[in-house]
A and B are shown apart, each in its own frame.
Chain A
Amino acid sequence: MMDTPFTVSADLDLGTRVGSYLRSDNADVTISEGEVPQTLEDVTDRGVSFEVNATDFLLHLPAGASFHVSGGKHISYARNGASDRDVALFLLGSAWGALCYQRGLLPLHASAVMHEGKVHAFTGQSGAGKSTLAAGLSVAGLDFFTDDVLIIDPADIRGSTARCFAGQKDMKLWEDALQLTGVESSGRVRDQPDFNKHFALPATTEEKGSGDLVSLTILKNENVRRDRDPIEIEKVRGAQALKHLRESIYRMRFGSAIMGRQKLFTALGQLIAAVHVQTFDRSMLKPQFENSSAAMRDWIKGYGKTDG
């Protein structure tokens, strides 16, 4: 069985993040430097930095690279002065998300760990602590599975099983998160000076690129402001789960524009029916990190034994 949802050949160094996707030839998707149009014809949706039509997606970064994703099969990029590192970063982010949608896949904004062959994912808004928690759990002995993007194939959600794929095998952590978790940097994310975000590969990285997703945890930080127990894990179902998880769709506007909202939400509904969805409310103060990570580690280790 394939360990990635598609394969890729590229004319630039994409690092180790998507190593298992790479092929020297006969890949599903080709990535090459080339001309990127300023605009698309017959645009069906347009945002601050992107345009979409029936087959194509166009992205222009502020003072940086541009990407043209077409038919789920090809990505052209124009550097516009950007370095390989910066091109690769956004290629494997927003452009990658658009590529997934064009190929009928559902990318979630999530990081994940693997335990006893099952994938447990964490999602939440930007800054919610997804990567930091996954890093902390990997230091605590669970296997790191993916950072930032978790890819679901809606055609492969069956009953209580949802097959998922790792989007990125390198973590991206801010300097303070490196210090907090003890994970070591393997290089800076950007070539911009003073941009203190780093790639990191935890020691306990799971080599597998796919697995069965069994739980999706939505990260919150509210109880502490309400003088309630700061660590609370609460199962959510149905419409409530859908409300929480819609914000976890990776580049939601791209997804709506490319796949259509109905298809997108149908896939999300299928996913919610198949996996355990819960919220995890906890303090985000650094001294509390060990406690809250331990609570999640214990929950994952106990999954399937007393819950779920």
Chain B
Amino acid sequence: MADLASPPADAAPDGITWLASFPKSGNTWTRILLSNLIAPDGVDDEHFASLSGSISSNRAGFDTITGLPSSDLTDDEIDLLRPACYRENAKLAQQRLFVKVHDGYHDNGNGDAIFPGDCSFGAIYLVRHPFDVAVSYANHQGHDNFDKIVKQMNNLDHIMAGGSKNQLRQRTLGWSGHYLSWHRQDAIPMLTVRYEDMLADTAACLKRMATFLRLPEKDDDAAIAHAVAESQFEKLRAKEDRSGFRERPEKTERFFRAGRAGDGWEMLNNEQREALCNANRDVMEELGYTP
């Protein structure tokens, strides 16, 4: 995929880099790759990633920055404060921040974008074939009810967490809605990377990301090769078996499940695949995703 735009030459290096994706589209893998490239010393048997920055829905982080108890605020009230919260995060950061985002790109109900351009360096947008997302997302939720997952992915109002959950509400806008929302905004320069391209040539994709992010390592092929080797699926899976993975949902047996493309064709039935195609055809075609 081509760059939607590049960060301007004078882009603030202390601005946030958003790692944006619908869930289960290679976001964690990307974070691990970048960690092994930029800050390999912080990666060990217990820690898979070492980048500064968390996830946009980090409730504890919101509480700390705002001084307000998010659990006493409505999800809409929280959204009102989120742009200012990220600006404050960027202002207080002592290192470059890489923040995972599963929210679609939308405003906060008061006309301001949840993710403000003025505190952003850029965004890497990760996208994966919706059939495979469906299988992986079901596993992440601890079930294999693919009908339920397909409905969530096709639902423009699909939300994650919020309310009593330990993450803030994230309005994904559904699979297509997520992609379109980020690609229709022009406040944050963005590089789009397909999960399937990462599988086919991880080093090339990581180099494109490093170039987009203006990392000093962008021309260091040995460092890129090392980061790719350290982030191989088999290695991550073995590490999870050995030491566990903090981000694994309790209901799920393992986070690093398959790490491949194509499961969706085998595990979803015709009706489920058709439902995904019908609701997401335009974006699937744009991305070269065949039914």
Contact = CB atoms under 8 A, between A and B. Distances in A.
Given A64-B77, A94-B67, A190-B74, A127 B250 contact: no
B246 interface: yes
B164 to A, nearest CB: 4
B256 to A, nearest CB: 12
Nearest to A189: B72
Contact of A126 (B67, B85, B166, B244): B166
Interface in B21-73: 59-60, 63-73
Contacts of B85: 48
Nearest to B69: A93
Contacts of B72: 89-90, 93, 172, 189-190, 197
Interface string B220-251: 00000000000000000000000111111011
B66 to A, nearest CB: 5
A238 interface: no
A165 interface: no
B80 interface: yes
Q: How large is the interface on A (under 10, 10 to 19, 20 to 34, 35 or more residues)?
A: 35 or more
Nearest to A124: B60
B166 A49 contact: no
Given A47-B88, A283-B250, A285-B251, A226 B243 contact: yes
Contacts, number: 97
A48 B71 contact: no
Contacts of B73: 62
Nearest to B248: A225
Contacts of B163: 174, 196
Interface residues of B, number: 33
A6 interface: no
Contacts of A127: 59-60, 71, 165-167
A126 B81 contact: no
A222 interface: yes
Interface string A54-66: 0000010111100
Contacts of B63: 126
Contacts of B84: 48-49
Interface string B245-274: 111101100000000000000000000000
Contacts of A59: 67
B80 A125 contact: no
Nearest to B78: A62
A125 B60 CA distance: 6
Contact of B81 (A49, A90, A94): A49
A272 B72 CA distance: 29
A21 B72 CA distance: 22
A192 interface: yes
A194 B74 CA distance: 9
A105 B11 CA distance: 44
Contacts of A89: 72
A94 B69 contact: yes
Interface in A221-252: 221-222, 224-228, 247, 251-252
Given A48-B84, A126-B69, A222 B59 contact: no
A177 interface: yes
Nearest to B252: A225
Contacts of A63: 77, 80
Interface SS of chain A:
loop
A284 interface: yes
A198 to B, nearest CB: 11
A50 B67 CA distance: 8
Contacts of B77: 61-64
A254 B63 CA distance: 12
A84 interface: no
Contacts of A33: none
Contact of A175 (B59, B60, B64, B164): B164
A176 interface: yes
A9 to B, nearest CB: 24
A299 interface: no
Given A89-B72, A225-B245, A48 B60 contact: no
Nearest to B83: A48
Contacts of A190: 72, 74
A58 to B, nearest CB: 11
Contacts of B59: 125-127
Nearest to A50: B67
Interface of A: 47-50, 59, 61-64, 89-90, 93-94, 125-128, 172, 174-177, 189-190, 192, 194-197, 221-222, 224-228, 247, 251-254, 283-285
Interface of B: 59-60, 63-74, 77, 80-81, 84-85, 88, 163-167, 243-248, 250-251
A-B complex: 9 closest residue pairs judged by Cβ atoms: A226-B244, A127-B166, A174-B164, A62-B80, A125-B60, A48-B84, A48-B66, A225-B248, A225-B244
16 contacts: A47-B67, A47-B88, A48-B65, A62-B77, A62-B80, A126-B59, A126-B166, A127-B165, A176-B164, A194-B74, A195-B74, A225-B245, A227-B244, A251-B67, A253-B65, A253-B67
Given A126-B63, A222-B244, A224-B250, 16 more contacts: A48-B67, A62-B77, A89-B72, A93-B68, A93-B69, A126-B71, A127-B71, A127-B167, A174-B163, A177-B164, A195-B74, A197-B164, A222-B246, A253-B64, A253-B65, A285-B250
